[in-house]
Chains A and B, each alone.
Chain A
Amino acid sequence: MGALLVFLGCGASPGGPDGSFRVALVTPGSIADASWNAGAYQGLLLIRDSLRAQVSQVEARTPSDQEEALRTYAAQGYALVFAHGFEFQDAAERVAADYPETIIVITSGQRVTGNVVPLIFRLSEATYLAGIVAGSLTKTNKIGYVGGIELPPVRMAYEAWSQGAKSVNPQVESRGTYLNNFDDAVAGREAALAMIRLGVDMLHHNADAAGLGVFQAAKEHRGVYVFGSNADQSDVAPEQVLGSAVIDLPGAFLAVSQEVLEGRFIPRVESFGLESGVIKYVANPALASRVPADVMALVQEAETAIISGALQVADRETGRVIPGKR
């Protein structure tokens, strides 16, 4: 715990000699999740170091706290606030109506309203690739997914993961479950264990800190593999993680901040997929020997097809996963 606190603590030190550019981050959960929130926090630190910005971060889990946090930052005159998740949309629009000077970026948001702008991450394109690996390597033909709250991006990551698996192995039986929160690692572990008891041997999650329980469950069972999400999670369980569907949050955050700092930011919908390099499937090098070359070739092939547009997993405008058989 001590080390964790120290790690969290390096956040709010004031920026360089010129600290007038102020950037804030509101996360819906702990930044110690090695996933969605940790990536955003790294992005914030990158902004601090690269742009000499003054940065601040706060965690806000309930709708009430989320609005309070956004409002406080806006009132304090922050130029740019990252509201880290789909669930911030309503609160951000309410706050922005009162503080038109502050740009609020909603990661995985949906629509532009004034200075409230979304960053759409088509993580589904990477979970599709993870699904190809899982569908090829499963011995039981059963794969499982543990989601946090059933938000659209979380559900779409699941849909694409199942589609990817079925594209290479039509026999795959895919299960998904939602924990209704992003914090409860015990619930995440229980959900994963229940799936393992049903014969699932390939697991994927999108549950932030609760997802850490999924890794825990996999560690307790030989022959069960996990795919990380939102960040490269190979380190969380080096013997169990075959790969991760990654969002390069720091890169995306820095790009937006740079535009805002230089005054050339125009409110728009920004959508990132495999073609941008912000979304990618990262294999765990330690387990590379477990994934045969022909499977990696399938992944490569699908990746190229998605980038060229020949294979459409998600709509480029809205980020919605396109249903249908592939």
Chain B
Amino acid sequence: MNRLRQFGVGFLLPLALGLAALSLLLWGLDYDPSAGLRALWSGAFGSWYALTSATLVRATPLIILGLGFALAFRGGALNIGMEGQFLAGAIAATWVGVRVGAWHPLLAVPAVWAAGILAGALWVLVPVLLKLRLGVLEVITTLLLNFVAEAVVSYMVQGPLQEVSRVYPQSDPLALAAQLPLLGGTRLHLGFAVGLVLAGVGALIFARSVWGFKLKAVGAGPRAAWMSGRIPSARLLAGALLISGAIAGLGGAIEVGGVTHALFQNLSPGYGFTAIAVALLARGDPIGIVGTGLLFGALEAGASAMQRDAGIPSVAVSIVQATVIIVILLGDVAARRRRTLTVAPEVIEVE
């Protein structure tokens, strides 16, 4: 019951307010709000094709990257560099993917994924080392490496990985063996299932494993974790960041293998950043991230349909996302106030 209430207040209410804000905006700008919302709905859930080929395809990278962010976040580390790790994973996956034409898919696909995972972890390795050795904030280093990754993609698609005719700034298509199987008649690929499995594994790690427990303890307070349980926060966080990067790299490999089938310059419309909102809205809860990832995927799919079918610019939908985020943050602030008011007298300062 409590969970249901939490879902209602934490998720449905902000969404309803977001849609209300959108309707108001459309009405104020002389669009027909009901036509807009109808198009939004039908573009996201209106047909089997819309659900699978638009919503779920868009949700897949958001869910995977959201899980990557959550893993580090629960331990108190902020991986703002998932966009870069995603691209690093995509580059490595492409490099392997165009070379495995003679392989069996059961070998080719894991090889491509392994390349993405490795590249994503490597891309976050420098920030991790800088944090461990010199105490440099990972927020800054991971963020800056995003720009480096973008530049490397540009270089790759005009250099070593450029397609064979050397005209287009893109790579050759991945070998058929390396392309992910699609659900019949749709664009939905195996990567979505990978996202669900990862979410399940993530939930188990946080609920059942010692490592997950320690990570949460470090996230709640590194000093307390060390004092009470001798939990080495630095090592644990380093591990969490590396895994976070690896997951983001896998996300890149999956996008290339399942959707674009080649490396392009503008591969990501900022998945690595949207995924942060996706993870934060779910408060880092892996199962919740599936929900928020689907919500954002649906909103973006619906936004396209709104522009297509109702002539409403798709950017209008960002007001829904913004309202949802603001309402949830306000709710958090209010809840914390209440808690501090009631709990404050018991807080004891420890030297």
Q: Which residue of A lies closest to B269 (CB)?
A: A62
Across the interface, do A150 and B304 meet the contact criterion of CB distance under 8 Å? Answer: no
Asked if B274 CB lies within 8 Å of chain A CBs, one says no
Is A6 part of the binding interface, using a Cβ–Cβ cutoff of 8 Å? yes
Does residue A13 face the partner (Cβ distance < 8 Å to B)? yes
Q: How far is the CA of A129 from the CA of B264 in the complex (A)?
A: 32
Complex CA–CA separation, A180 to B158 (angstroms): 11
Quick check: is A293 within 8 A (CB to CB) of the other chain?
Answer: no
Contacts of A97 in B (CB 8 A): none
What are the residues of chain A within 8 A of B31 when measuring CB–CB?
9
Q: Find out whether the CB atom of B53 lies under 8 angstroms from the CB atom of A68.
A: yes
Q: Is the CB of B169 within 8 A of A151?
A: yes
Interface residue SS majority, chain A:
helix
Are A150 and B167 also in contact (CB < 8 A) when A5-B316, A9-B311 are?
A: no
User: What residues on B are CB-neighbors of A5 within 8 Å?
Assistant: 29, 312-313, 316
Cα A273 to Cα B255 in complex, Å, equals 39
- Are B312 and A9 touching (Cβ within 8 A)? yes
Residues of B within 8 A of A4 (CB): 313
- Interface 1/0 per residue, B236-263 and A, CB below 8 Å: 0000000000000000000100011010
Interface residue B54 (Cβ < 8 Å from any Cβ of A): yes
User: CA separation between A261 and B150, bound complex, in Å?
Assistant: 43
Interface size grouping (class) on chain B:
35 or more
Contact pick for A90, options B167, B259, B262, B305, CB 8 Å = B262
Query: With the chains together, A75 CA to B47 CA distance in Å?
Result: 12
Least CB separation from B29: chain A residue: A5
Q: How far is the CA of A9 from the CA of B25 in the complex (A)?
A: 13
Q: Which listed residue (B168, B187, B266) contacts A61, Cβ 8 A?
A: B266
In the docked arrangement, what's the CA distance between A251 and B109, Å?
47
Check if B346 is an interface residue, CB within 8 A of chain A.
no
Closest to A6 in B: B29
A152 to B167, CA, bound (A): 7
Bound together, the chains give a CA A176 to CA B186 distance in angstroms of: 42
CA separation between A12 and B36, bound complex, in Å? 12
Query: Once the chains bind, are B304 and A68 in contact (CB under 8 Å)?
Result: yes
CB pair B266–A69 under 8 Å, yes or no, is no
Interface residues of A in 167-198 (CB under 8 A from B): 180-181
CA distance A10 to B313 in the complex (A): 10
Which among A11, A58, A149 has the highest number of chain B CB atoms within 10 Å? A58
Q: Which residue of B lies closest to A110 (CB)?
A: B167
Q: Which of B49, B53, B268, B310 contacts A62 (CB 8 A)?
A: B268
| B141 partner residues in chain A, CB cutoff 8 A | none
For B307, give its contact among A6, A57, A75, A152 (CB under 8 Å). Answer: A57
B185's closest neighbor in chain A, by CB? A98
Q: Which of B138-169 contact A (CB under 8 A)?
A: 150-151, 154, 158, 167-169
User: Which residues of B, 90-116, contact A by the 8 Å Cβ criterion?
Assistant: none
Q: Is the CB of A9 within 8 A of B267?
A: no
Interchain CA distance A16-B308 in the complex, whole Å? 18
Partner of A58, one of B58, B167, B268, B308: B308
Contact sample, A vs B, 17 pairs, CB 8 Å cutoff: A2-B28, A2-B29, A5-B312, A12-B309, A56-B311, A58-B304, A58-B308, A59-B313, A59-B314, A68-B54, A69-B304, A69-B308, A72-B304, A149-B169, A151-B168, A151-B169, A180-B150
Using a CB–CB cutoff of 8 Å, the interface residues on chain B facing chain A are 28-31, 49, 53-54, 57-58, 150-151, 154, 158, 167-170, 173, 187, 255, 259-260, 262, 264-269, 304-305, 307-314, 316
Q: A6-B29, A9-B30, A59-B314 are in contact. List 7 more A-B contacts (CB 8 A).
A: A12-B309, A57-B311, A59-B313, A64-B255, A64-B260, A86-B168, A181-B266
